[in-house]
A and B are shown apart, each in its own frame.
Chain A
Amino acid sequence: MHRQAYSNGHAFTSSSAGRSDTFSIQPHKFQPRSQPALRRRQLWIRRILAGTSLFLLAFFFFFPNLRPNLGSGPLSYWTSTEDSQLETVRYYDLNNVQGTARGWEREERILLCAPLRDAAPHLDMFFSHLQNLTYPHNLIDLAFLVGDSKDNTIQKLTDKLNELQADKDPKKQFGEISIMEKDFGQKVNQDVESRHGFAAQAGRRKSMAQARNWLLSAALRPTHSWVYWRDVDVETAPFSILEDLMRHNKDVIVPNVWRPLPDWLGGEQPYDLNSWQESETALALADTLDEDAVIVEGYAEYATWRPHLAYLRDPYGDPDMEMEIDGVGGVSILAKAKVFRSGVHFPAFSFEKHAETEGFGKMAKRMKFSVVGLPHYTIWHLYEPSVDDIRHMEEMEKERKAKEAEEQAKKERLDKIKDQFDSKSSDWEKEKAQVQNMVQKEKNEAGKAKVDEPKKQEIHEARGEEDKKKAEPPKQEAPKAE
């Protein structure tokens, strides 16, 4: 009924009915809401709750391992902010980092590896190459392994890297940069001669391989699609080398490596002989060698007759031409990271009679990866004169000096001759002058004595004689000019 809507304690004025009819409440009178029984029950509940919480407190105090896990509490933000900011779990999908032909568009990360040893003199050149790379720098991670260095490589490297990362433009900053310091205690010298001597090769290549493996295994991440190996002593290389090599979409790819030479040595020369195609001769040779032997290229001791990438270069050839190879050189290798993930590495033992980068090529082939070289795409290695070259240059210097000395001697001799002729001709001239004087005197005397007619004739004759005498000196001088 509507009536109740008005029954808020006031009389319903229009009603003619009596007071007893209206709905009435008494707002000021206290009425207990609950019964004593209910109140007692509430007290019990409170006691039980308190008891349980005390029990739980004690229980969890003594058995901390049984505490329920409720996540990080609201207080943890100021009690241990450091900890809550810590990320310990990482998820990666390796299918996203297989490597494609157009990595720069798909933001594929490259790991650039460079093993260093006493490399301080080359770092300036190396870093200018880094800065010039056209591949987005923020997608390039740098990893260096510095070992057994006696110079200030580490200090210089750190300074250079700091300079590099100080760039304001985030696009110019490189990605993760790691410097691993590890000494292997190598005894082999790194100077050109001992580095390339035949006897030292196998041991040297094995320890180089070890360094490369340490570097790679410490630096490879699940985010990398490509791995690029680059020596620091490359002098000239195209800025777009990463894209150029990547475009071929091969598992392992190397350019041709040459080096410039002084003119007297022919102007240029193939440098990296480790990129080659396998030959029957070499396979037969490999079978005759013992398990730990290592075949190295470019030495008369092992005539392998393999086609070398380096010798196939045509300066005007198509730079995109590819050639299947089996052994690769380590100056500049671009490989898909999946090659390394699947286990291919630089054998520090004799793998199919090869070690280091050549063994790497062999192993990649064994695992059915594509390995190619670009014979007409060339980068230039720094020219460091070898001991032979230095000897040759010394010889040339000696020759030059000998030649100079000879010329000097010759000149002196000529001067001497000239001096002698000079004195003779001056004598002659004195004599000539005397003769002339005498002639003049005679003429004068004769002129005084004789009459006009014969005098004229005599003068003519005398003049003729004079002319003859004047013509003579050039004949005398001729030897001087010789």
Chain B
Amino acid sequence: MPYPRSLRRQNPITYVLALILFVGFFLFFFPSGDDASSGSTERRTGSLASNVLSPPSLPFRKSKSNEPAPAPPIVHYYMNNLTTSPNPVENEETVLILTPLARFYQEYWDNLLKLSYPHDLISLGFIIPKTKEGNAAYTALQAQVTKTQSGAKNKRFKSVTILRQDTESPLQSQNEAERHKMENQKARRAAMAKARNSLLFTTMGPATSWVLWMDADIVEYPPNLIQDLAAYDAPIIAPNCYQRYYNDEKKSMDIRPYDFNNWVDSPTAKELGAKMGKDDILLEGYAEMPTFRSLMAHLYDGSADPGHKIKLDGVGGAVLLVKADVHRDGAMFPAFPFYHLIETEGFAKMANRLNWESFGLPNYLVYHYNE
């Protein structure tokens, strides 16, 4: 029986090429197996859970579906060994990045991916309201998460937790003007505080060293953000939050201060507080209520030492690195007026009552989205 024509006449070069292509295909398009063994970012031992019932900040191994599930194991967590040090990468400290998400910006996600901190030490947590806007953000986020978590291994995050919750706030619109009206602030920030607490206390788990609060509309920051902030070894530390905009006078792009919740207290503000009713709150950045606090947003000096650090009495939540111990001791975001402060500002006060201090970096900028 003679060979079929096509096989008889083929040049051996073709087979060689085909073989190379085949091998190349597997080696390069599915980098999973090889990278894990050769890469330095080997998944840390002890950071895996064997059961679904486990802290959401740990990935877990799925059991084979046909076996009967074994009894949930007894897990010891040695929290004495948990460190929060100025060089977190060397000590393999885990960072939990928490974001209350109302709108999804692609720039936000791109910046997360650009973080130079080892991604297998980073867990992400999101809380998304159950609104129309929230649904859209959820879909967009889900697509990006799926893409990243099944993509290149060194880009994958340790774990991602996505929470949905009904908002108690009756506010329909999340647009900037409506959101910043003074009378809406208290209710909005109380709802925000509850969302932050829900996210924090359900995702923190026993293995987290640092908590990085990052608003969904923060769209630009240096990739070394975590290392830079952690290097100060401060319990609570906030960079200065600015916004890029088109300056009509200068006819060019310019920056302006955005987050006014980072401040040092003033006697005027204390007096105002003393005269207030128990349920009233002091707000920053409103002409109706001059507090004369020194705002970190106005302390930016591009020519000064970028590492300059100041002590703060109130902090904003745009970008905030917190040692997990501060939260574990009970410092949370009050959804009620706490010393006439609410949410992140109240958090700084509560941390202060627990003997933890807050700091700010006036010359280290992160940028807010411009609507």
Contacts and interface: CB of A to CB of B under 8 A. Distances in A.
Interface string A339-351: 0111101111110
A346 B330 CA distance: 7
Given A88-B59, A88-B158, A342-B198, A80 B51 contact: no
A167 B71 CA distance: 9
- Interface size range on A against B: 35 or more
B43 to A, nearest CB: 8
Contacts of A88: 59, 149, 156-160
In the A-B complex, list the 10 residue pairs whose CB atoms are closest, starting with the nearest.
A79-B33, A73-B30, A176-B53, A343-B197, A218-B206, A182-B79, A343-B332, A349-B353, A94-B165, A222-B202
B145 A89 contact: yes
Contacts, number: 217
B264 interface: no
Contacts of A166: 71
A181 B78 contact: yes
A467 B109 CA distance: 127
A91 B146 CA distance: 12
B26 A217 contact: no
Contacts of B32: 72-73, 76, 79-80, 83-84
B74 A162 contact: yes
Contacts of A87: 59-62
Contacts of B79: 180-182, 214, 218
B31 A221 contact: no
B40 to A, nearest CB: 15
A344 B63 CA distance: 36
A383 B205 CA distance: 35
Contacts of B14: 46
Contacts of A224: 202
Contact of A179 (B75, B159, B330): B75
Interface stretch (A62-70, A238-246, A416-424): A62-70
A8 B69 CA distance: 68
Given A183-B80, A349-B353, A161 B74 contact: yes
A462 interface: no
A348 to B, nearest CB: 5
Interface string A77-114: 00110111111111111110000000000000000000
Contacts of A181: 76-80
Contact of A86 (B61, B165, B336): B61
Contacts of A210: 329-330
Interface of B: 14, 17, 20-21, 24, 26, 28-34, 36, 48, 51, 53-56, 59-62, 68-69, 71-80, 130, 145-147, 149-152, 156-166, 193-194, 197-198, 200-206, 327-330, 332-336, 350, 353-354
Given A141-B53, A177-B72, A92 B161 contact: yes
Given A217-B204, A222-B56, A345-B330, A89 B162 contact: yes
Contacts of B147: 69
B30 A75 contact: yes
A178 interface: yes
A463 B108 CA distance: 134
A73 B29 contact: yes
Most chain-A CB neighbours within 10 Å: which of B72, B146, B158? B72
Interface string A198-230: 000000000001100110111111111000000
A387 interface: no
Most chain-A CB neighbours within 10 Å: which of B36, B150, B330, B333? B330
Given A73-B30, A345-B330, A216 B201 contact: yes
A214 B157 CA distance: 25
A262 interface: no
A180 to B, nearest CB: 5
A221 B48 CA distance: 16
A218 B150 contact: no
